[in-house]
Amino acid sequence: MSKTFLALFAGVLFGLIIHLSIILLLPLFPSTNAWKIFAKIAPIGEVIILERPLPGEANILRLDPELAYAVCRYDLSNGPGLLSGQLTSDFWSVGVFDKNGVTIFSTTGSSSINNHLQVGIFNPAQTRLLAEQQLGMQEGLIIVEAPRNQVFVVVRYAPPYPQMWERYSKVLSKLNCSYLSDSSAPLEINE
């Protein structure tokens, strides 16, 4: 009887080890994550509008059909990323994610100046140059430091009525997804 209890106890302990191992190993072997999906549809440095999910159709990314979504991917080894554009006072938000879907930074339009979206994304080395004032930045730019080079940005935009979804998507498609070095807000190298 005691040996049976011991086997049960050992099994529960081993089960906990299995559980913790799966939890810790899962992030190393992600199934279908957003980065993999976006890699197929969004070239680096281009804004793409995500299709509105329809009833009966797959919604892998679990998008809210009420909102319009724009996605932009960056490889920061090409230089600091810049996402900019003019939106309206309707709700909008921006989230910067790493390759594993971990949120690096997020904010909403309510904390912007005149609903102007202007986010600069830097890797640690580029942030160091900023701190040493070797890079000059345009005023009002939100500076985000990404721990790794591969990041994606998701902009959510809420039309007041569902019928206006197309129009709001068009506004999102005009966002500028580029690198600071090739934008009109140039990356200045201070000598």
Partner 1 sequence: MKNFTPKFLIFLLSALIVGLGLTYYSLNDGRFIGAYQWGSWSAWLKAGSPKPDPYTKAFLALGHSVQLGRGEGIQFIAQRDENGDLLMRNCNYILKGDTPVAAFWTLRATSFEGNSVTPNNAKQNIHSSRLARNNDGTITIFIGPKNRTGNWLEIHGKDLFEIVLTFYDAPILAGFGGNIEQMPSIIKESC
Q: Provide DSSP, 68-114.
A: EEEEEEEEGGGS-EEEEEE--SS-EEEEEEETTS-EEEEEEGGGSST
26 binds partner 1 (CB under 8 A): yes
Sign of CA dihedral 70, 146, 182, 137: positive
Distance CA 106, CA 43 (A): 22
Please give the residues from 103 up to 162 whose contact with partner 1 meets the rule CB under 8 A: 103-108, 110-111, 154, 156, 158, 160
Quick one: which of 39, 45, 48, 53 contacts partner 1 (CB under 8 A)?
53
Look up tokens 């206006």; give the residue. 164
Beta carbons of 67 and 180 less than 8 angstroms apart: no
Stretch that binds partner 1, among 65-73, 112-120, 131-139, 182-190 (CB under 8 A): 65-73
Nearer to partner 1, 31 or 190 (CB): 31
Beta carbons of 71 and 38 less than 8 angstroms apart: yes
60 binds partner 1 (CB under 8 A): yes
Beta carbons of 68 and 157 less than 8 angstroms apart: yes
Look up tokens 């090409």; give the residue. 78
Quick one: which of 79, 81, 82, 97 contacts partner 1 (CB under 8 A)?
97
101 binds partner 1 (CB under 8 A): yes
Look up tokens 């159709």; give the residue. 57
Q: Which two tokens stand for residue 144?
A: 């985000």
Quick one: which of 39, 44, 61, 141 contacts partner 1 (CB under 8 A)?
61
10 binds partner 1 (CB under 8 A): yes
Quick one: which of 12, 132, 163, 190 contacts partner 1 (CB under 8 A)?
12
Shortest separation between residue 187's beta carbon and partner 1, angstroms? 25
Residues in contact with partner 1 by CB under 8 A are 3-4, 7-8, 10-12, 14-19, 22-24, 26-27, 29-35, 53-66, 69, 91, 93-97, 100-108, 110-111, 154, 156, 158, 160
